[in-house]
Amino acid sequence: MSKSDDHGQNPLFEPIRVGPYLLRNRIVKSPMSRMRAAQNDMPTTLMAEYYSQRASAGLIITESVQISRQGKGYRNSPGIYNDEQMRAWKTIADGVHARGAVIFMQLWHCGRLSHPDLQLNGGQPVGPSAIRPNVEVYTDSGPQAVPEPHEMDSDEIAQVVDQYFQASLRAKKANVDGIEVHAGNGFLLDQFLRDGTNRRTDHYGGSVENRVRLLIEVVEAIIPIWGADRIGVKMSPLSTYGDIRDSNPEALYSHLVSRLNGYGLAYLHFAEGELLSSRDVPGLDFARLRRMFHGPVIGNNCYDLAQATEALQSGKVDMIAFARLFAANPDLVERFRLGAELNELDVTTLQSGGAKGYTDYPKLL
Ligand SMILES: Cc1cc2nc3c(=O)[nH]c(=O)nc-3n(C[C@H](O)[C@H](O)[C@H](O)COP(=O)(O)O)c2cc1C
C-alpha cells in the first residue's frame, strides 16, 4: 500500500458533525496564545493572515480571548470586550470562512494568573481564594511573580458571568461559529474547579457541586445567545500548569462531565495529562469520562500523526487538537495527508515578535 493510500484510510480525514456543522476533517487547530495583538488588546490583520493560513483544519479554535479588561493576564493577548475588537475579530472570522473552515472563539478570564501591571490602574488580580500561585507572568518590564489575588465576593462573581455573556454577544456579532469556554490551564474557571485553588466556604467552594457552579453558570448564561450545540468546553484535569491541582480529579470531573452532558454541547475538549509534557499521568479514568459524555470529544496534548490516528481508531476520542505542530506547519492537514516532513518549531517566536515564526513558516506547495 502506498503512503497516500495508507493515509486515505485514516479517520483523521473523515468528516464529523459538531453541533450544526459538518467539519471536513477531525484535525483541530488547538488554541494557542501567540501574543501578537496590538495596543488595547486589538486583534490585527497579521492575526487574520495566521488564522486563514491554517484554515484546512476541520475546526479552528482561536487563542484565548479575554472577556474583560480584568480577565487579562498576558501581554499582547487579544480581547473581545469592545466593539472595535469585535470588528477586528470579524475580519479574522471572515478570512477563515472564505477558506471553508469553522472557527470557535476561546473565551478566557485569567483570574489570579495576572499582575497589577497588566490590570487597569494597577488593580489586584482576582481569584476564588487568596492563594498566591508560584508563577511568573510577562509584563512590559519582563517576567514578574504573580501576587496574592483578591478573593472575589458574590457580586464580583456575578460580574464575571456577565462579562462572559457580553463577550459571547460580541463574538456572535464577530461572526465566529461558536464558543469554547476555557475551563483549564489554571485560569479563572479552573481555579474555581480545583480544590488546590478554591478554599471558599460559600456555595462556590467545598463540594464538587459547588466548585463546578461558576462554570455551569457561565455555560447557562451563554446558551441563550449561542445554543448549547455551538458551545464547547476545554478542561485539563490532571495538568498542574498555573500551579494548580485537585485532591480528587476523578470525583470532580465525573461530576462535571455528567453535568455538562445534560446540555447537548458541541464538544468537550481535554488536554490530557500534564500540559506540554505527557499524556501518561495517573489519576483519572479518561475512558469512563469519555463514555459519560454523549457528544464529540477532542483529545489533545503531545500527539503526533501516528498517536492521533491510533486514538481515533480505538474510539478513545473523536478529534485531535494539535497546537505546536500547527504553529510550525500552516498546512499541517496536507502534510499529514501526504505523510510529508514537518517544519521544525522555533520556540523563541512562539509568544513574541511579529510575522517571523508566526506567518512565515513555509507551506509544502
Ligand atoms: C505557545 C502556546 C500557547 C498556548 N495558548 C493556549 C491558549 O491560549 N489556550 C489554550 O487552551 N491552550 C493553549 N495552549 C495549550 C495548547 O492548546 C495545547 O493544549 C498544548 O500545546 C498541547 O498540545 P500540543 O502537544 O499539540 O502542542 C498553548 C500552548 C502553546 C505551546
* Residue 274: pLDDT over 90: yes
Please name the residue that has the C-alpha cell 496590538. 38
69 lines ligand 1 (CB under 6 A): no
Supply the residue whose CA is at minimum distance from atom 11 of ligand 1. 31
The arithmetic mean of pLDDT across residues 123-145, rounded, is 96
The burial of 5, by beta-carbon neighbours within 10 Å (0-12 exposed, 13-18 middle, 19 or more buried), is given as exposed
- Whole-number mean pLDDT of the chain? 96
Residue 344 has pLDDT above 50, yes or no: yes
8 Å CB contact between 67 and 164: yes
pLDDT of residue 9: 81
C-alpha pair distances (Å), 353 with each of 37, 147, 347, 356: 10, 27, 11, 7
pLDDT at 33 over 50: yes
Q: Say whether pLDDT at 20 is over 80.
A: yes
Q: From atom 13 of ligand 1, which residue's Cα is the shortest distance away?
A: 32
Per-residue model confidence as pLDDT tens digits over 194-204: 999 999 999 99
Distance 62 CA to ligand 1 centre (A): 11
Residue 218 reports pLDDT greater than 50: yes
Looking at residue 4, what is its pLDDT? 42
Q: How much is the average pLDDT of 3-31?
A: 86
User: Is pLDDT of 7 > 60?
Assistant: no
Write out the H or E segment, with its range, that includes residue 239.
none
Residue 270 has a CB neighbour count (10 Å cut-off) of 28
Give me the domains of the chain, ranges plus CATH numbers. Answer: 16-326 (3.20.20.70)
CA 8 to ligand 1 center in whole angstroms: 28
Q: Is the pLDDT of residue 32 over 70?
A: yes
Q: Are 128 and 192 in contact (CB under 8 A)?
A: yes
Q: What is the pLDDT of residue 365?
A: 85
The pLDDT of residue 1 is 35
Ligand 1: which residue has its CA nearest to atom 30? 32
Is residue 30 lining ligand 1, measured as CB closer than 6 Å?
A: yes
pLDDT digits (tens, 9 = 90+) for 137-164: 999 899 999 999 999 999 999 999 999 9
- Average pLDDT on 293-306 reads 98
pLDDT of 346 strictly over 80: yes
Q: 301 CA to middle of ligand 1, Å?
A: 8
Q: How far is CA 316 from the centre of its chain?
A: 20
What is the C-alpha to C-alpha distance for residues 276 and 300, in angstroms, rounded to an integer? Answer: 10
Q: Quick one: average pLDDT of 104-131?
A: 98
77-91 pLDDT tens trace: 999 999 999 999 999
Q: Mean of the pLDDT values across residues 283-309?
A: 97
Task: Give the residue among 287, 286, 289, 167 at the shortest CA–CA distance from 231.
Answer: 167
Q: Whose CA is nearest to atom 28 of ligand 1?
A: 32
For residue 323 and ligand 1, the question of a CB distance below 6 A is answered with yes
Span from the CA of 300 to the centroid of ligand 1 (angstroms): 9
The rounded distance, in Å, linking the Cα atoms of 42 and 38 is 5
Residue nearest to atom 16 of ligand 1 (CA): 323
Which of 28, 33, 138 is the pocket-test mutation for ligand 1 (most atoms within 8 Å of CB)?
A: 33
Cβ–ligand 1 contact at 349 (below 6 Å): no
Query: Does 300 contact ligand 1 (Cβ within 6 A)?
Result: yes
CB 271 within 8 A of CB 300: yes
CA distance 332 to 300: 15
**106 Cβ below 6 A of ligand 1:** yes
Give 44 Cα–ligand 1 centroid separation in angstroms: 20
